[in-house]
Structure 1
């Protein structure tokens, strides 16, 4: 029986669509966010046993990928003062992938800490920010197989909820010259939105990045919006709302991917069951496409 001539043509046309979305391992992504936001981790408050379990999990994922790091066992320990209390041995978990064509660096960040337990209620922080942390690991897996142009640092940051302390520690004790850092991509709350919208904040400050992002998002399943990055613009200014602020304050361009606040923001109801798996997967796929475009065009 002869193969119809239309079949090879259809396969040629549909093949890019068939492989799209397979770049990110959906099952692994959802497994990661589910574990990181589980009751077992007790809300991942810095220095808690739950935080240590999160650290162990992230480090294992980096080790399984055989990633390198400038820090022993992927861990950058740091201290800070919080309301008169000296916090010692908070920990950023950091991996490195060398670039093929450039010594410049893009730093990809997501904070893994959350609020812990309050009044016997566990603040699991599924969207804030197990979502960004799981996406960080998914992107590390992709770029481990697809070498980037620029070197990439993947930083799972601690103590964001206590004043962006992990990000401040990283930029103040960076393993390379900060002059080599050309961009920070930060992910914080990316797993749910009723309007199917994800924001890229930062292009008001760094307008050269917007055309790259617009082109990379043209065929995305999630709508990429721009804004939340300038005061008196009619919406909240997110310029200093998350870890990217520490980079911006050093004059390093940033793009912050996130959704607008929802009813479970900083509530004990921010659980895995509240995320939108389809939106989340598509949002991570979009962020990866934008990251690839930025890596190739900067």
Structure 2
């Protein structure tokens, strides 16, 4: 027979265990999203093409099931743009959801692009579908799970979750979001961008952007200690050419508006922008751990941003 003290300890232990699980993303759902978004059926998710639209519908359904808010009709922010040479008109669509903050009207904007480069030249194996598993089904799947997490664990600051289109065509979705943002840009404290987070032979995940805002590094340094993946700061020093990632993905649109950013990603690998960037070539342990580490970073930032 249990004493009252034993029962209390059991209850507290169960509560603590549940809290611990609440701090993690659903590995099953994360992988399921990655597999769907990088499948051959989606034909590389090129902007304006059928597979891209199927990816958009998948993201939209996820936000709808969570019953999240949005400042755009049906979560969709359409935009148009011309190709670099001006000979082709594209129609892109961002999918944008919002979770209000419990303590602040300031915002964190979490972004990941869901488009990729589509179908192209065949490789030696005869494969012409550029699946874009790491680039960027990985970041998009993580964004969806983070939306799920914060729908159950409301943040102090409002969070916008923006699955962006047309990154591969010149960061067009990010520029459209910044151009037609639903709040004054002055309310945005930070952009957290995820682009390629599912594999690295050295076990390293980089966070770029702290060179311009050293206070962000101070917030995250403790989480980097003995982390897996190994969280490294860098790739943001001006004048270092291709080694400077400041304008390499969607966070550049925020940087150009002088909004602080943190870009989580890995260094290029042998399958970058090739048909071999497939789900079978990602590192599942790395991917799940990277997504959970980024979530921990966002939680810490939500706690510490605006503190004196």
Q: TM-score range by the shorter chain?
A: over 0.9
User: 3-state SS of the aligned residue for 1:229?
Assistant: coil
Runs of 5+ consecutive residues of structure 2 not aligned to the other structure: 123-127
Q: Tell me what 2:145 maps to.
A: 138
User: 3-state SS of the aligned residue for 1:212?
Assistant: helix
Output the aligned Cα RMSD: 2.2
Shift, 1:264, TM fit: 0.3
Q: Tell me what 2:246 maps to.
A: 239
Q: Tell me what 1:266 maps to.
A: 273
Are 1:101 and 2:103 counterparts?
yes
Deviations 1:19-45 (A, max 9, x none): 368620000000000100000100000
Contact 1:107/1:154 (<8 A) preserved: yes
User: 3-state SS of the aligned residue for 1:91?
Assistant: strand
Shift, 1:220, TM fit: 2.9
Contact 1:127/1:275 (<8 A) preserved: yes
- Choose the corresponding residue for 2:117, options 115, 137, 153: 115
Deviations 1:199-248 (A, max 9, x none): 00000011110011112333532210000001345970000000000000
Contact 2:224/2:232 (<8 A) preserved: no
Q: Tell me what 1:278 maps to.
A: 285
Deviations 1:42-83 (A, max 9, x none): 000000000000000000011111111111111000011112
Q: Tell me what 1:207 maps to.
A: 214
- TM-score normalised to structure 1 length: 0.92
CA distance in 1, matches of 2:240, 2:166: 29
Matches within 5 A, 1:1-298: 19=20, 23-82=24-83, 83-119=85-121, 121-218=128-225, 220-233=227-240, 236-298=243-305
CA distance in 2, matches of 1:141, 1:166: 22
- TM-score normalised to structure 2 length: 0.90
Q: 1:194 to 1:41 in 2, by over 3 A?
A: same
Runs of 5+ consecutive residues of structure 1 not aligned to the other structure: none
User: 3-state SS of the aligned residue for 1:242?
Assistant: coil
Deviations 1:79-115 (A, max 9, x none): 1111213434310000000000011111000000000
Q: Report which stretch shifted further, 244-253 or 120-129.
A: 120-129
Contact 1:112/1:130 (<8 A) preserved: yes
CA distance in 1, matches of 2:205, 2:241: 18
User: 3-state SS of the aligned residue for 1:161?
Assistant: coil
Q: Report which stretch shifted further, 218-227 or 49-58.
A: 218-227
Q: 1:128 to 1:199 in 2, by over 3 A?
A: same
User: 3-state SS of the aligned residue for 1:184?
Assistant: strand
Q: 1:46 to 1:92 in 2, by over 3 A?
A: same
Q: 1:222 to 1:22 in 2, by over 3 A?
A: same
Number of residue pairs aligned between Structure 1 and Structure 2: 292
Deviations 1:248-294 (A, max 9, x none): 00000000000000000011110000011100000000000000111
Contact 1:217/1:289 (<8 A) preserved: no
Shift, 1:296, TM fit: 1.1
